Structure 1
Amino acid sequence: VIFSTSSINEVREAMVYLGTRSFDMKPAKIIDIKEVGDGERVCVDTASMLHKGEGMLIGSRSNFLFLVHNESVGSSFTSPRPFRVNAGAVHCYTLSPDGTTNYLSEVETGSEVLILNSKGKARRATVGRSKIERRPMLMIKAKAGEEIGGIIAQDAETIRFVKPNGQLVSVTHLKKGDTVMVHSKPATGRHFGMEVSDEYILEK
């Protein structure tokens, strides 16, 4: 695609347009929650102010990603940090604006990540800092249709998912049978983060 213009305003508008995508979001029912001991988790501090309802798509499988909310709400222990997403364990996937996946361990200063709301509308954000620290972790599994996916996240009040009605639920209050928003689709293979549609893959 070649874009020719002499207007800086048109360039800005094009960048906003190209950075905006939509993803199919659906409700998933929580089927398992388990403490799994300590592990390394990744806090993604963006260079943008994130709004209520926005977060990142994170998961242990590239085709089943949970909407993990930002820290704009705060908690009884911390002040709001609306630029931050306490995303999950180092092995988890997240989606990049170009459609590829990255491991959270790969996210660093200058990386671009996707920020979404519960309706699936996405925008770009630049990472200002990524923090990897050892913390107690939870394994959470959910089911959407025939697909089952999971995430390992820090066991802390500030990590929240988004319910279908837009309300937030902390992982510390999450129960089996609760419903949260995810992006899921049939599994496909990936090479270096790029989707390969005709390759079979099974992730557990």
Structure 2
Amino acid sequence: MREILVKTSNEAVREHAKNMNIETVENDEPKVIIECREDEEKAVRMAEKSNHIFIQSPNWKIISLENLVAKVKGKTKLIAEVKNSEEAKLALEVLELGVDGILLETNDLGELEKTVRMLQERSMGILKLEEAVVTEIKLLGLGARACIDTCSLMKNGEGMLVGNFSQGMLVVESEVEATPLTNPRPFRVNAGAISLYTLTPNGKTKYLSEIKAGDQILIIDREGSTKPAFVVRSKIEIRPLVLIKAEAENREAAVTLQMAETVKLMTSKGSKPVTDLKPGDKVIAHFEQGGRHFGTLVPEEFVLEK
């Protein structure tokens, strides 16, 4: 999670920040207030002399931070002063790289909690992935499947975790590669049957049928690194489906996907179309213990999924 500091005159906010191991500050120096181009240049010069700079942008909240991230990222720690979680989110996303940290100036306990939740949802970090062996492939009939279109450009080796069961999921790769009959659609994951689970950035699961424009999904690569992506649309259509099961150390994962050459499951070194899969092939999977209650993981709960 990116660094968060708090500046407040409210003792309750100060105490709550302390309980969450968040540092409170009284002195936000060295500091540059960005109101014109000369102020930007002052911040650039200061970056050569200080290991951190506090930046306050009263009016130009995005462009000024974009310019500074481009000029001083890596030279010093850039900390943006913000008033709420919305400003914090913008600062952390400028130029995709974002600032190094935020200083939240608030006397509102709810705003502190909202900002911390936002940071936690952005930072699922790395999920454990492991190889699972395909044990069964069964052609089903027609069924409703969902294509999830995002506003992200995914790369080779990136996709979504989906599963018939919440305890075991496989990774479906985005449509990043062209074929003789189709153009690449790197914004899309043909994610599977509408009743499949997928993980979201807050650690909860959602059914694919529930995903809609404006929601966030979790993108994962084959190393387990994750990042959020916004959904532009979910396209549900009737297509032929295939059931694929895989096992690792007596744990099972299963997915129900569209039977098509463009739908690929991720492997440790590449990906393989579901049309080419056969028992004995290895794919990558994510397993967890426990059950889910309205999407929230309950590790201690016993749930049998089959």
After TM superposition, the score normalised by the length of structure 1 is 0.93
Q: CA deviation at 1:120?
A: 0.2
Q: CA deviation at 1:163?
A: 1.3
The amino acid across from 2:216 in the alignment is E
2:304 aligns with 202
The amino acid across from 1:200 in the alignment is F
Kindly provide the CA deviation profile for residues 13-61 of structure 1, in whole angstroms up to 9, marking residues without a partner as x.
3578862411000001000001011000000000110000000000001
- Bigger drift between 68-77 and 47-56 goes to 68-77
Kindly provide the CA deviation profile for residues 47-98 of structure 1, in whole angstroms up to 9, marking residues without a partner as x.
1100000000000011111010000113232110000000010000000000
Contact 1:101 1:193 (8 Å CA) reproduced: yes
Question: 153, 168, 176: which is aligned to 1:49?
Answer: 153
1:191 aligns with 293
Alignment of 1:34-183 (within 5 A): 34-165=138-269, 167-183=270-286
The amino acid across from 2:187 in the alignment is F
Contact 2:194 2:208 (8 Å CA) reproduced: yes
Higher relative contact order (CA 8 A, sep 6+): 1
User: How many residues are paired up?
Assistant: 202
Give me the whole-angstrom Cα distance separating, in 2, the residues matched to 1:124 and 1:141: 27
Asked if 1:25 is matched to 2:144, the reply is: no
Which structure has the larger Rg over C-alpha atoms?
2
SS of 1:133 mapped into structure 2:
strand
Give me the whole-angstrom Cα distance separating, in 2, the residues matched to 1:72 and 1:175: 23
Contact 1:75 1:157 (8 Å CA) reproduced: no
Change over 3 Å in CA distance of 1:105–1:3 after alignment to 2: farther
The amino acid across from 2:274 in the alignment is V
Contact 1:27 1:180 (8 Å CA) reproduced: yes
SS of 1:110 mapped into structure 2:
coil
Give me the whole-angstrom Cα distance separating, in 2, the residues matched to 1:184 and 1:100: 14
The amino acid across from 1:78 in the alignment is T
Q: Percent identity?
A: 41
SS of 1:22 mapped into structure 2:
coil
Contact 1:144 1:184 (8 Å CA) reproduced: no
Change over 3 Å in CA distance of 1:17–1:103 after alignment to 2: closer
- Bigger drift between 156-165 and 16-25 goes to 16-25
Change over 3 Å in CA distance of 1:75–1:16 after alignment to 2: farther
Q: Which consecutive unaligned segments of at least 5 residues does structure 1 have? A: none
SS of 2:209 mapped into structure 1:
helix
Higher strand share: 1
Give me the whole-angstrom Cα distance separating, in 1, the residues matched to 2:295 and 2:232: 22
Change over 3 Å in CA distance of 1:121–1:38 after alignment to 2: same
Q: CA deviation at 1:122?
A: 0.2
The amino acid across from 1:182 in the alignment is A
Q: Which consecutive unaligned segments of at least 5 residues does structure 2 have? A: 7-53, 66-79, 81-90, 93-97, 102-117
SS of 2:164 mapped into structure 1:
strand
Contact 2:168 2:285 (8 Å CA) reproduced: yes
Give me the whole-angstrom Cα distance separating, in 2, the residues matched to 1:147 and 1:74: 34
SS of 1:105 mapped into structure 2:
helix
Change over 3 Å in CA distance of 1:90–1:3 after alignment to 2: farther
Pairwise CA RMSD of aligned residues? 2.0
